Amino acid sequence: MIRTIISFKDVNKTFYSYHSVTPVLKNISFSIKENEIVALLGPSGAGKTTIFNIISGLEKPDEGTIEKNASLGYMFQKDNLFEWLTIRKNIELGLKIQHILTHEKKKEIAVIKIMKKACGVLILVAVGLIAKFM
């Protein structure tokens, strides 16, 4: 049986500012099953990033239920790296904050230093390592 990885049921999210109320998600329901490939498409402001932020726990829905049956990694739209740290130290920081940085994980991260690839490739490798440890 194919298991459901993520499920949204009647999810609502509204953002409030001093001058406005912006409903972003209204009664959103969907599920993603194991091995499915899903794309979120829509114009700017449609709620795509809000959905990812809710899945990752960075935002909470105002109403509705979310079920997650897997550990998930999340890559922000911007790289959000600390410019004063090396790529390796940026990777280690996330693991350190989660209290899961071990000697073995440091050795796996060290592989990045050996690779003589373009910076973009190294960042993709780093994201893969972070997702692996979540």
What tens digit of pLDDT does each residue of 19-71 get? 999 999 999 999 999 888 888 888 888 999 899 889 888 899 999 999 998 87
Total number of residues shown for the chain = 134
- Spatial distance between the Cα atoms of 7 and 24, rounded to a whole number of angstroms: 18
Q: What are phi and psi of 130, to 5 degrees?
A: -65, -45
- Spatial distance between the Cα atoms of 27 and 13, rounded to a whole number of angstroms: 9
First to last CA, the chain: 25
Residues 67-107: pLDDT tens digits? 998 877 776 666 677 788 887 787 788 788 888 888 888 87
Please tell me the predicted confidence (pLDDT) of residue 16: 95
Please tell me the predicted confidence (pLDDT) of residue 104: 83
> 12: closest CA among 22, 32, 27?
27
DSSP-assigned beta bridge partners for residue 62: none
How far does Cα 56 stand from its chain's mean position?
5
pTM greater than 0.85: no
